[in-house]
């Protein structure tokens, strides 16, 4: 555990918020290390369980809300936020859940099973919602992957499950909005080694079908991650080669052309349910856990 050092009355926390450069393997894309927080139980640290004969546990989900990075500290049961000033603060305590997203106003939504809590950090109040799809079914957790809390272009908060079903959360709204899109997208597996991005209109009519390219491997877990302001499509993919799962995020044009591949480290020290997020400007964020702590990386190469 790292110590907190005191310099006069000013506390210097063991939290780094910077833009040092890390080079990813394979396609040689460059990621910025924008946040590094160590394991521990002090201020500015994140909780870890690392005991013999137990699965290592740490933060399982994160989200980006404007200039803040939100992290679900599973062990401390807290939602923590880090801003550009390098300070990490606690947004909420006694929180349990699988997924989080910001509300664009300093608060946060947390999914815990079929319940979604909205924590208003300005007033200290909590609101509770339940998610169901058009058939009245609620999302279920797939261990190790969880779900994604997303916000559409109108500010409606939704859950996108690993099975790619979308569950609107009635009454849950956010000032944080996604890039506008006229279609709803999901991943569909066709054959053993064929995966497509399917875009449907409001009547569930397929209008777009984009093949996800698999470079020399077999597709494992494949998740649609959203669109950017230019209408480009993003997919998180486990590309399994020689028994090893390589983590990639692909950027596709709406016309189907693959524009970019971001190869990411898949060497996780603890299990993370949500590994990546795509911002409207096309930036790809990754939460990575290592033996030393938690890193947030950002990939922003234009394409």
Whose tokens are 């979308």? That residue is 166
Query: ∠275-281-287 over CA atoms, to 5°?
Result: 15
Please give the structure tokens belonging to residue 267: 């060497």
Q: What is the reported pLDDT for 22?
A: 38
| pLDDT band, residue 14 (cuts 50/70/90) | very low
Q: In what order do the strands lie in the sheet with 147-151?
A: 147-151, 156-161, 166-173
User: For residue 247, what are the β-bridge partners?
Assistant: 238, 264
Query: Where do the structural domains in the chain lie, given as residue ranges?
Result: 5-179+268-299
| Segment 215-224, tens digit of pLDDT | 999 999 999 9
pLDDT at site 8:
31
Alpha carbon 30 to its chain's center: 19
pLDDT band at 15 (very low <50, low <70, confident <90, very high): very low
Q: What is the pTM of this model?
A: 0.85
| Owner of token pair 């990490």 | 88
- Is 81 in contact with 104 (CB distance < 8 Å)? no
End-to-end alpha carbon distance in the chain = 41
Residue with tokens 């033996």: 291
Q: How much is the pLDDT for 285?
A: 96
What average pLDDT score do residues 77-94 get?
A: 87
| The CATH fold of domain 5-179+268-299 | Thrombin, subunit H (2.40.10)
Segment 22-81, tens digit of pLDDT:
333 334 467 899 999 999 999 899 999 999 888 899 999 999 998 899 999 999 999 999
* Residue range 150-186, pLDDT digits in tens: 888 888 888 888 777 888 888 888 887 776 777 888 9
Sign of the alpha-carbon torsion through 289, 264, 150, 168: negative
At residue 80, the pLDDT reads: 94
Q: How far apart (Å, rounded) are the C-alpha atoms in residues 131 and 170? A: 7
Residue 146, pLDDT score: 66
pLDDT of 117-153, one tens digit each?
999 888 888 899 887 767 777 776 666 566 788 888 8
CB-based contacts of 149: which residues, under 8 Å, 6+ apart? 63, 99, 100, 101, 109, 111, 116, 157, 158, 159
273: tokens are 């349910």
DSSP letter for 57, please. Answer: B
- Angle at the Cα of 288 (from 239 to 34), degrees rounded to 5? 120
d(CA 67, CA 62): 13
> Which positions ≥6 away from 185 have C-beta within 8 Å?
197, 198, 199, 200, 208, 224, 227, 233
Rg of the chain over Cα atoms, rounded to whole angstroms, equals: 19
pLDDT for residue 91 is more than 60? yes
The answer to whether 183 and 199 have CB atoms below 8 angstroms apart is yes
Q: What six digits make up the tokens of 66?
A: 């404007």
* Residue 1, pLDDT score: 33
Cβ atoms of 60 and 74 within 8 Å: the answer is: yes
> Quick check: 10 pLDDT over 50?
no
The residues that bridge with 287 in the sheet, in sequence order, are 296
Per residue in 242-278, pLDDT (tens digit) is 999 999 999 999 899 999 999 999 999 999 999 999 9
Asked if 184 contacts 199 with a C-beta cutoff of 8 angstroms, the reply is: yes
More confident: 105 or 225: 225
- In DSSP terms, 132 is beta-bridged to none
- Which candidate, 111, 26, 67, places its Cα nearest to that of 296? 67
């Amino acid at each position: 555990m790292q110590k907190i050092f005191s310099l006069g009355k000013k506390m210097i926390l063991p939290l780094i918020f910077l833009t040092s450069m890390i080079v990813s393997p394979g396609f040689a894309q460059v990621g910025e290390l924008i946040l590094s927080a160590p394991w521990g139980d002090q201020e500015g640290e994140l909780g870890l369980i690392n005991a013999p004969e137990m699965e290592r546990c740490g933060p399982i989900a994160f989200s980006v809300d404007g200039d803040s990075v939100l992290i679900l500290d599973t062990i401390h049961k807290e939602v923590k936020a880090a801003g550009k000033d390098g300070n990490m603060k606690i947004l909420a305590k006694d929180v349990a859940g699988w997924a989080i997203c910001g509300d664009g106003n300093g608060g946060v939504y947390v999914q815990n099973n079929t319940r979604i809590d909205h924590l208003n950090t300005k007033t200290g109040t909590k609101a509770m919602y339940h998610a169901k799809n058009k058939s009245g079914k609620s999302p279920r957790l797939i261990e190790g992957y969880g779900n994604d809390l997303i916000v559409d272009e109108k500010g409606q908060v939704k859950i996108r499950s690993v099975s790619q079903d979308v569950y609107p959360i009635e009454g849950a709204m956010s000032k944080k909005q996604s890039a506008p899109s006229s279609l709803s997208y999901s991943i569909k597996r066709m054959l053993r080694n064929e995966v497509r991005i399917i875009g449907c209109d409001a009547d569930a009519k397929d209008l777009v079908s984009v093949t996800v390219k698999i470079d020399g491997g077999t597709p494992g877990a494949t998740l649609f991650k959203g669109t950017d302001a230019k209408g480009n499509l993003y997919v998180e993919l486990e590309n399994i080669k020689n028994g090893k799962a390589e983590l990639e995020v692909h950027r596709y044009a709406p016309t189907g052309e693959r524009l970019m591949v971001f190869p990411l480290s898949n060497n996780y020290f603890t299990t993370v349910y949500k590994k990546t997020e795509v911002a409207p400007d096309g930036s790809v964020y990754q939460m990575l856990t290592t033996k030393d702590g938690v890193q947030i990386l950002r990939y922003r190469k234009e394409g």
